[in-house]
Chains A and B, each alone.
Chain A
Amino acid sequence: MYSLPYIAQQIVNGLNLGSIYALVAIGLTIVYGILRLINFAHGDLVMVGAYLALALILNTALPLGAAVLVPMIVVGGVGILVERLAYRPLRGAPEVAMLITSLAVSSIIQNGTVMSLSAQPRAFRLPADLIAQQQVGVVSFSTLEAISVSVAIGLMALLTVFVTRTRVGVAMRACAENLRAARLMGIDINQVIAYAFAIGSALAAVAGFMWAGRFGSIEPFMGFLPGLKAFVAAVIGGIGSIPGAMLGGYLLGFAEIFFVGFLPPEFSGYRDAFVFGLLLLVLLVRPRGLLPTTAEREG
Chain B
Amino acid sequence: MLNKNTLLYLAVLAALLFAAQTLLNDYYQRILAVVAINIILTLSLNLTNGFVGDFSLGHAAFMAIGAYTSAVLTLPVASKATLMPDLPPWLGQLAVPFLVATIVGGVLAAFVAMIVGIPVLRLRGHYLAVATLGLMVIVRAVAINWTAVTRGAKGINGLPVFTDIWWAFGWAVVTGYVIWRLVNSTYGRAMCAIREDATAAAARGINVTAHRMLAFCVGAFFAGIAGALWGHLISAITPHSFSFLITFNVVVMLVVGGMGSISGSIVGATLMTLVPELLRSVETRLSLGGHPLYGLSQIIIAITIALVMIFRRQGLLGGREIRLPQLFDRRGADAVDRQASPSA
Within 8 A of A (CB), among B125-184: 125-127, 129-131, 133-135, 137-138, 140-142, 144-145
Number of B interface residues in the complex (CB < 8 A): 44
Q: Contacts of A94 on B, CB cut-off 8 Å?
A: 313
Chosen A-B contacts, 28 in total, with CB atoms closer than 8 Å, are A38-B129, A93-B313, A94-B313, A100-B305, A101-B305, A103-B248, A103-B251, A104-B302, A107-B299, A108-B299, A110-B295, A111-B295, A111-B296, A112-B299, A114-B295, A232-B134, A266-B145, A270-B145, A273-B137, A273-B142, A277-B138, A281-B119, A283-B120, A283-B127, A284-B118, A287-B122, A299-B124, A299-B125
Contact present for B130 and A272 (CB under 8 Å): no
Q: Is the interface of B mostly helix, strand, loop or mixed?
A: helix
Complexed CA–CA distance, A278 and B126 (Å): 17
B87-135 with Cβ < 8 A to chain A: 116, 118-120, 122-127, 129-131, 133-135
A107 and B137 within 8 A (CB): no
B284: min CB distance to chain A, Å: 13
For residue A250, CB closer than 8 A to chain B, the reply is no
CA distance A104 to B295 in the complex (A): 13
Contact of A228 among B130, B293, B295 (CB under 8 A): B130
Interface residues on A, range: 35 or more
- Whether B310 is near chain A, meaning CB under 8 Å from some CB there, is yes
Interface string of A87-103 (1 = CB under 8 A from B): 00110011111111101
List the B side residues contacting A284 at CB < 8 Å: 118-119
A276 to B138 Cα, complex, angstroms: 7
Flag if B295 contacts A97 (CB, 8 Å).
no
Tell me if B306 counts as interface (CB < 8 A to partner A).
yes
Interface membership of A62, Cβ < 8 A: no
How far is B91's CA from A97's CA once the two chains are assembled, in angstroms?
A: 45
B297's closest neighbor in chain A, by CB? A111
On whether the beta carbons of B137 and A225 are closer than 8 Å, the reply is yes
Contacting residues, chain B, for A38 (C-beta < 8 A):
126, 129-130
CB of A126 closer than 8 Å to a CB of B: no
A119 within 8 A of B: yes
B310 touches A99 (CB 8 A): no
Q: Which residues of B contact A (CB under 8 A)?
A: 49, 53, 55, 116, 118-120, 122-127, 129-131, 133-135, 137-138, 140-142, 144-145, 244, 248, 251, 255, 293-296, 298-299, 301-303, 305-306, 309-310, 313
* Chain B residue nearest in CB terms to A231: B130
Cβ of B123: which chain A residues have Cβ within 8 Å of it? 283, 287
Cross-chain contact of B294 among A104, A114, A231, A279 (Cβ < 8 A): A114
B294 & A119 in contact (Cβ 8 Å cutoff): yes
A259 interface contact, C-beta 8 A: no
Residue of A nearest to B298 (CB): A111
Contact: A107 with B255, CB < 8 Å?
no
Closest residue on chain A to residue B296 by CB atoms = A115
A36-B125 contact in complex given A104-B302, A104-B309, A105-B306, C-beta closer than 8 Å: yes
> Contact between B141 and A104 (Cβ–Cβ < 8 Å)?
no
Q: A271 CA to B145 CA in the complex, in Å? A: 11
Shortest 10 CB-CB contacts between residues of A and residues of B: A276-B134, A111-B295, A284-B119, A273-B141, A107-B302, A114-B295, A269-B145, A273-B138, A104-B305, A115-B295
Q: A107 and B298: CB pair below 8 A?
A: yes
Give every chain A residue within 8 A of B301 (Cβ-Cβ): 107
Docked-complex contact B302 and A279, CB < 8 angstroms: no
How many Å lie between the Cα of A280 and that of B131 in the bound state?
7
Is A86 among interface residues, defined by CB-CB distance under 8 A? yes
